[in-house]
């Protein structure tokens, strides 16, 4: 057996305790040769870290790193993978207690409340006013989910009054 000591990292595993004792270590022999003087209960495992993250719903799930010791492969491996797990009730409650990242208008349109979005809506209102657009003219806005909505200038102005008051209330808290 010859090990590529430059491009591999290893973990030291204790079979008696079923625990990884050290992670991300170099192969102990500079020539990459076989280890012959290790106690029977100590094993070197090749690190295999997955970079592929599965899709998940961050509103109800999270990613958890799981280590899997595989003593049947040659070389033996310590595999790190991502697993989707449900959020605990405590985590769901904490998320629910956060202020929303959007403002929902009286017409049901959800608007982003980030500084960039507030500035964009302000600039859009300035353009509407500079162009002296009629209240009946139709403009297009995009909601928090990037869905386009065609609304009249009058609806836009009324919506921005609600939106502006809400965003201001966040500012003064």
pLDDT tens sequence for the chain (173 residues): 688 888 899 999 999 999 999 999 999 988 888 888 899 999 999 999 877 888 888 888 999 989 999 999 889 999 988 999 999 999 999 888 877 789 999 999 999 998 899 999 999 999 999 999 999 999 999 998 889 999 999 999 999 999 999 988 887 75
Closest CA to 103 of 16, 154, 169: 169
Peptide bond just before 85 cis, omega within 30 deg: no
pTM: 0.50
Q: Where are the chain's structural domains?
A: 10-87, 99-171
Contacts of 94 (CB under 8 A, 6+ apart): none
| Bridge-based pairing state of the strands 77-86 and 102-104 | unpaired
pLDDT score, position 152:
96
Count of residues for the chain?
173
């Amino acid at each position: 057996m010859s090990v590529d000591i430059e491009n591999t990292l290893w973990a030291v595993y204790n079979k008696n305790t079923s625990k990884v004792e050290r992670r991300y270590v170099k192969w102990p022999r500079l020539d990459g040769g076989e280890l012959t003087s290790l106690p029977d209960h100590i094993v070197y495992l090749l690190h295999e870290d997955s970079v592929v993250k599965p899709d998940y719903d961050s509103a109800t799930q999270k990613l958890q790193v799981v280590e899997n010791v595989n003593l049947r492969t040659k070389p033996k491996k310590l595999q790190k993978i991502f697993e989707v797990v449900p959020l605990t009730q405590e985590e769901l409650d904490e998320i629910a207690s956060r202020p929303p990242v959007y403002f929902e208008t009286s017409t049901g349109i959800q608007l982003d409340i980030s500084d960039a979005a507030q500035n964009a809506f302000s600039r859009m209102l300035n353009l509407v006013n500079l162009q002296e657009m009629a209240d009946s003219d139709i403009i297009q806005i995009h909601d928090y989910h990037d869905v386009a909505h065609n609304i009249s200038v009058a609806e836009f102005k009324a919506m921005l009054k609600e939106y502006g008051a809400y965003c201001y209330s966040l500012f003064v808290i």
